[in-house]
């Protein structure tokens, strides 16, 4: 298997405008343990289409770009490349269920860049739903901090 697509939906207790911003590089720093992007453009980390940042090191050094970012439609698409193993498209789509509750669909499309990376795709797919459910749990656990953060 050299390509895999996974998607899963979670519920976030926050208005859609705020919940959408939880899935930006700056927003994720409030709920993802160890998330410390290095911003290349713009260097202040402002979330905008075309932004470029890196994460990880060694074999997991990953270059990201924000290809699409539509605040009104609450949709974003990131392209990320870990040159030693995979290219990934990450899509986030948020939809208000009511004034304080948002449904978030997270979709990943992974492509192995070499045969050695193919088993990791299968493992990623097997754990995808649990990973995204874990995101919902971490966001819920940090709700107070997220509400205090100026993300919008």
CATH of the domain at 15: 3.30.530.20
- The pLDDT tens digits of the residues spanning 37-95 come to 999 999 999 999 999 999 999 999 999 999 999 999 999 999 999 999 999 999 999 99
- Residue 52, classed as helix, strand or coil, is strand
Q: What are phi and psi of 21, to 5 degrees?
A: -75, -15
Domain hosting residue 113, numbered range: 3-148
Q: Report the relative pairing of strands 75-82 and 86-98 from DSSP bridges.
A: antiparallel
| Counted domains in the chain | 1
- CA atoms of 17 and 29, how far apart (whole Å): 17
Q: For the full predicted model, state whether its pTM sits above 0.85.
A: yes
- The pLDDT tens digits of the residues spanning 134-148 come to 999 999 998 877 777
């Amino acid at each position: 298997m050299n390509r895999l697509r996974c998607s899963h939906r979670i519920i976030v207790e926050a208005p859609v405008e705020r919940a959408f911003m939880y899935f930006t590089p700056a927003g994720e720093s409030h709920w993802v343990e160890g998330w410390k992007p290095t911003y290349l453009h713009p260097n202040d980390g402002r979330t905008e289409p075309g932004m470029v940042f890196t994460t990880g090191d060694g074999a997991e050094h990953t270059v990201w770009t924000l290809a699409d970012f539509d605040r009104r439609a609450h949709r974003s698409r990131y392209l990320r490349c870990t040159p030693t193993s995979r290219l990934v498209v990450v899509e986030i789509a948020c939809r208000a269920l009511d004034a304080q509750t948002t449904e978030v669909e997270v979709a990943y499309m992974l492509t192995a860049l070499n045969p050695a990376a193919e088993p990791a795709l299968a493992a990623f797919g097997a754990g995808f739903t649990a990973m995204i459910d874990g995101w919902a749990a971490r966001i819920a656990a940090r709700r107070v901090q997220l509400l205090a953060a100026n993300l919008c």
